[in-house]
Amino acid sequence: MVNVVVEGDRVRFEVEGWDKLWAFKSQLEIPLAHIRSASTNPEQARKWILYPQGVGLPGIETRGLFRAGSFYESDGVVFYDVHNPEGAVVIELDHERYQRLVVEVESPLDVIRMLDAAINARRT
């Protein structure tokens, strides 16, 4: 699971628990200006369960259980930390190492609202 914190013009994605070990990261910090969108998309999170793809860069995948870490996919590098696809948020990025983050959070709709509000506030 990942905790998402907006601080000024940056967003910190804090990887929690044992997932720090599996994902080889304890946190990611992304400028708010580099976040294109955030959405719930269980299919994006679930597709790795049904159709494994990508190469771990480092990352660990246990098919059907979880995926954590960096994976190279056809459109670039994607960071995953997902156990339950229904709780995942997909964050599309620009100008970053990662094309997107696919992370499980406690409340996907709250995280999306928080990111949308921060992005809109920055634009005005």
Q: How many domains does the chain have?
A: 1
Q: Where are the alpha helices (DSSP H) in 1-124?
A: 19-23, 42-50, 108-123
Question: ∠ at Cα 106 (24, 55), nearest 5°?
Answer: 30
Predicted confidence (pLDDT) per residue in 48-82, tens digit: 543 445 444 565 556 666 788 888 887 888 999 99
Q: Which residue has the tokens 């921060």?
A: 118
Out of 22-31, 55-64, 69-78, 102-111, give the one with best mean pLDDT: 102-111
Domain that holds residue 11: 2-123
The pTM of this model reads 0.85
